[in-house]
């Protein structure tokens, strides 16, 4: 889901969604944005330069990215959906094309096959204003809002909504698309809990695929479309279960304890991949389909320090990928496996800005 990055970093510092193989050239004269230890990436390039920019996901032809931003210079009051052509657009000096309506709050955009339409979630049917974030209680847990007015829509690259995919009562968001181009996976509260569902590209044949109590979200398909990787909380004690249910009844979730899980596309063979503690989230399959890259703060003394890690699908071979001291998350490989895009607080001049970065991937 997506997620209010400036609030995330601030709060944790206090409390601790025709496949061509063309690729735009991405070049950086000097690889100065990359830390020396970051040997799996090279020619790292910064794409945005202000605000909170996150959940950037590639088009099927590997040339464009669709993402969300709350950058006030672009005239938005909260997260809205934009897209950019990598290697062509200058987002430091120009505003990209906005694909959402500008009303309500949006999250989790993803290209559909053909790269002429996207899916994204929006609260605009529930009101034109940006819904408020949860009030921060001193010493209290960091909370994500699960706005019940979120629904999933299809829009074209001119920003016109052409279809509404979900109409159930409650939260429907976090939609991503299978590389096969046949299915969408998303998170919904339609059954009273935060579970994963799949549907066809046209919104038909909705099926629930996770059933355990807890937050299941941020799901992505494997490269061959046969499996799904996601983040999940699993409250076990009476106290934790009560807290989870109490928060959910108020449209909230505490994302401070999450692990990475995988399952088949129908929900079978559900397996826990990580057992690291703290917050492990934003997973995405490596192009091989055998490894998973994700964001975690398990290694840091400070709760807001998130870096990218990679792990084998069976939970072995944990490897650190990035070394920024504050925040690296939302990784996605291009469909050809050549590039990695992610969000980071690096090179932000000491602000809380979270920007998009793209690099060549090195195995």
Given a contact cutoff of 8 angstroms between Cβ atoms, the answer to whether 342 and 362 are in contact is: no
Q: pLDDT band at 114, cuts 50/70/90?
A: very high
Given a contact cutoff of 8 angstroms between Cβ atoms, the answer to whether 221 and 230 are in contact is: no
Q: In the structure encoding, which two tokens stand for residue 85, read together?
A: 């052509």
76 vs 231: CA distance, rounded Å? 29
In this predicted structure, the answer to whether residue 112 has a pLDDT above a threshold of 70 is: yes
Q: What is the pLDDT of residue 134?
A: 86
The domain spans of the chain are 5-361
Return the number of other C-beta atoms located less than 10 Å from residue 282's C-beta: 27
Nearest to 107 by CA among 130, 85, 87: 130
Mean pLDDT of the chain: 92
3 state SS of 193: coil
Which residues are bridge partners to 279 per DSSP?
258
Q: What is the pLDDT of residue 28?
A: 41
pLDDT tens string 188-200: 999 999 999 999 9
pLDDT tens string 284-336: 999 999 999 999 999 988 778 999 999 999 999 999 999 999 999 999 999 99
Q: What is the pLDDT of residue 105?
A: 98
Residues 6+ apart with CB under 8 A from 87: 24, 25, 26, 27, 63
3 state SS of 6: helix
C-alpha distances in Å from residue 4, one per residue of 55, 68, 74, 170: 11, 10, 17, 20
Return the number of other C-beta atoms located less than 10 Å from residue 161's C-beta: 15
Percent of the chain with pLDDT over 90: 88
In this predicted structure, the answer to whether residue 8 has a pLDDT above a threshold of 60 is: no
pLDDT tens string 207-249: 999 999 999 999 999 999 999 999 999 999 999 999 999 999 9
86 vs 65: CA distance, rounded Å? 7
Q: What is the pLDDT of residue 24?
A: 45
In this predicted structure, the answer to whether residue 25 has a pLDDT above a threshold of 70 is: no
pLDDT tens string 128-186: 999 998 887 777 888 999 999 999 999 999 999 999 999 999 999 999 999 999 999 99
Percent of the chain with pLDDT over 70: 92
CA contacts within 13 A on the Cβ side of 130 = 13
Return the number of other C-beta atoms located less than 10 Å from residue 351's C-beta: 10
Higher pLDDT, 51 or 1: 51
Q: What is the pLDDT of residue 301?
A: 83
In this predicted structure, the answer to whether residue 5 has a pLDDT above a threshold of 60 is: no
CA contacts within 13 A on the Cβ side of 9 = 21
Q: What is the pLDDT of residue 137?
A: 74
Given a contact cutoff of 8 angstroms between Cβ atoms, the answer to whether 67 and 92 are in contact is: no
3 state SS of 212: coil
Residue whose entry in the numeric block shows the structure tokens 């090195």: 362
CATH code of the region 5-361: 2.120.10.30
Q: In the structure encoding, which two tokens stand for residue 133, read together?
A: 């974030």
Q: pLDDT band at 13, cuts 50/70/90?
A: very low
Given a contact cutoff of 8 angstroms between Cβ atoms, the answer to whether 342 and 330 are in contact is: yes
Q: What is the pLDDT of residue 136?
A: 79
Higher pLDDT, 99 or 3: 99
Beta strands in 255-306 (DSSP E): 259-264, 271-272, 280-285, 291-296
């Amino acid at each position: 889901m997506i997620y209010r990055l400036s609030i995330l970093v601030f709060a944790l510092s206090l409390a601790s969604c025709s496949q061509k193989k063309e690729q735009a050239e991405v070049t950086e004269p000097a690889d100065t944005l990359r830390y020396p230890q970051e040997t799996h990436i090279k020619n790292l390039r910064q794409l945005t330069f202000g605000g909170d920019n996150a959940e950037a996901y590639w088009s099927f032809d590997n040339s464009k990215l669709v993402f969300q931003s709350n950058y006030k210079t672009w005239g938005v009051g909260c997260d809205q959906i934009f897209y950019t052509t990598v290697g062509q657009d200058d987002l430091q000096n120009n505003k990209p094309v906005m694909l959402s309506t500008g009303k309500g709050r949006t999250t989790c955009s993803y290209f559909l096959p053909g790269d002429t339409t996207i899916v994204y979630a929006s609260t605009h049917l529930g009101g034109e204003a940006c819904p408020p974030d949860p009030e921060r209680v001193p010493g209290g847990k960091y909370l994500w809002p699960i706005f019940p007015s979120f629904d999933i829509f299809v829009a074209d690259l001119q920003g016109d909504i052409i279809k509404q995919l979900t109409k159930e009562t409650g939260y429907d968001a976090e939609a991503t698309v299978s590389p096969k181009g046949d299915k969408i996976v998303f998170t919904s509260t339609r059954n009273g809990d935060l579970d994963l569902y799949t549907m066809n590209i046209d919104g038909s044949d909705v099926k629930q695929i996770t059933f355990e109590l807890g937050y299941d979200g941020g799901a992505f398909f494997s490269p061959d479309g046969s499996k799904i990787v996601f983040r999940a909380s699993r409250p076990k004690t009476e106290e934790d279960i009560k807290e989870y249910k109490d928060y959910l009844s108020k449209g909230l979730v505490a994302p401070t304890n999450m692990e990475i899980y995988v399952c088949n596309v129908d929900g079978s063979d559900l397996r826990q991949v990580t057992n690291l503690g703290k917050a492990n989230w934003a997973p995405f399959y490596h192009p091989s389909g055998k490894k998973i890259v994700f964001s975690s703060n398990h290694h840091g003394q400070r709760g807001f320090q998130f870096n990218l890690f990679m792990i084998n699908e069976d939970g072995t071979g944990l490897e650190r990928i990035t070394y920024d001291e504050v925040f690296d998350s939302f990784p996605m490989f291009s469909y050809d496996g050549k590039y990695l895009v992610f969000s980071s607080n690096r090179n932000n001049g000491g602000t809380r800005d979270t920007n998009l970065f793209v690099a060549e991937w090195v195995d």
